[in-house]
Each structure stands twice: as structure tokens, then as C-alpha cells.
């Protein structure tokens, strides 16, 4: 039985599904995200994410954008993987309290009143850094921010359990 695919999507067989599963799992662990957190960010059920990583069933095209955004991949990365290519990272930056995301191209378009002093904007606007250097610096900052948030959450949980918060 063959899977029905759109004109721009390659057929998803066992080999391509396994390739996608490995890429998704490797990237999720690199970020790092739990399966539950990744599924929530992607807007899908945990069991669907597990099936994706275990290559046990076809991944619906309607989930591609959520998966790509969660893994900080450029749009079209899943189709690229299924076609034998590799995913491309996008530089995602938290720009406000609502956690809207801007791409590298958006940040290069110009400062706004609220972002002029933002360290990430200063990095993006620095003409002496290559895009590769900028991406590396931002990935490092995001990883450090995630680590701080995890540690702070643990401390707040501890404080709450001790009756402090």
C-alpha cells in the first residue's frame, strides 16, 4: 500500500522515516528538550512525537511547521531530510514577553525602539561578525538562557516546597 503524498513531498518509506526519526531525536536532545516539551511546543500529542522519533508511522505534513519551529529548523527542512538532504538551522530569538520569534533576516531589517539596546540585536547588527559567528554566539546565549531557566525553576520549586513562595 503506497502513501498518498503531495506534489512537493517525497514518499515517506521506512528508510526516509528512519532518517527523519534520527535527525529529529538528535536535534531534540541537542537543544535539549524532553519528548513532552517538544510535543507541546510543536502542538502535537506526545504519542505522535514518539511515533515520529521511533519511525513507526508516517508524519503528517500538517505537523511539519510545528516540528521545524520546535527544533529551530528552517521551513522545508523535513522535506529536505525526506529527500536525502539535511535540515538547515534557523536562528530564532525571543523578542518579547509573548515569545514571538524573528528570523535572522527579520533582525537584519532594522532596529525598533524596543530592541535597539537588546544584546541579541547588537550581535546581529555587528558588521565585523560573519553570519556563522553570529549564529554560534546566539546559540550559546540561548543554551545559557535555557540552563539558567532550568536552574531557576528548580530553585523556585524548592522554595515553594519549603513554604517560601
Cell numbers at residue 49, please?
Answer: 512525537
8 Å CB contact between 156 and 165: yes
- Helix (H) or strand (E) holding 101, with range, is strand 101-102
Write out the DSSP string of 46-66.
HHHHHHHHHT-SPPPGGGHHH
CATH class held by domain 14-82: mainly alpha
8 Å CB contact between 93 and 102: yes
Q: What is the pLDDT along the chain (165 residues), one digit of tens a residue?
A: 334 334 444 556 788 999 999 999 999 999 989 999 999 999 999 999 999 999 999 989 999 999 999 999 998 999 999 999 999 988 654 433 333 344 444 444 444 434 445 777 788 888 888 888 888 888 888 888 888 888 888 888 988 898 865
Q: Could you tell me which residues are beta bridge partners of residue 102?
A: 93
Q: Could you tell me which residues are beta bridge partners of residue 89?
A: 73
Domain extents in the chain: 14-82, 93-161
How much is the pLDDT for 117?
58
| Residue 19 φ then ψ, to 5° | -65, -45
Cell numbers at residue 23, please?
Answer: 535527525
Q: What is the rounded distance in angstroms from the CA atom of residue 149 to the CA atom of residue 147?
A: 5
Amino acid at each position: 500500500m503506497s502513501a498518498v503524498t503531495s506534489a512537493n513531498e517525497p514518499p515517506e518509506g521506512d528508510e526516509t522515516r528512519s532518517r527523519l526519526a534520527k535527525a529529529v531525536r538528535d536535534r531534540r536532545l541537542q537543544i535539549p528538550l524532553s519528548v513532552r516539551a517538544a510535543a507541546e511546543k510543536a502542538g502535537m500529542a506526545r504519542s505522535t512525537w514518539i511515533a515520529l522519533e521511533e519511525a513507526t508511522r508516517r508524519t503528517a505534513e500538517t505537523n511539519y511547521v510545528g516540528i521545524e519551529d520546535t527544533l529551530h529548523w528552517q521551513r522545508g527542512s523535513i522535506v529536505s531530510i525526506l529527500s536525502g538532504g539535511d535540515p538547515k538551522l534557523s536562528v530564532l530569538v525571543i523578542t518579547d514577553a509573548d515569545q514571538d520569534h524573528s528570523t535572522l533576516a527579520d533582525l537584519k531589517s532594522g532596529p525598533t525602539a524596543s530592541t535597539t539596546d537588546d544584546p541579541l540585536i547588537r550581535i546581529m547588527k555587528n558588521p565585523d561578525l560573519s553570519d556563522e559567528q553570529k549564529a554560534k554566539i546566539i546559540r550559546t546565549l540561548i543554551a545559557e538562557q535555557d540552563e539558567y531557566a532550568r536552574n531557576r525553576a528548580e530553585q523556585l520549586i524548592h522554595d515553594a516546597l519549603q513554604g517560601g513562595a
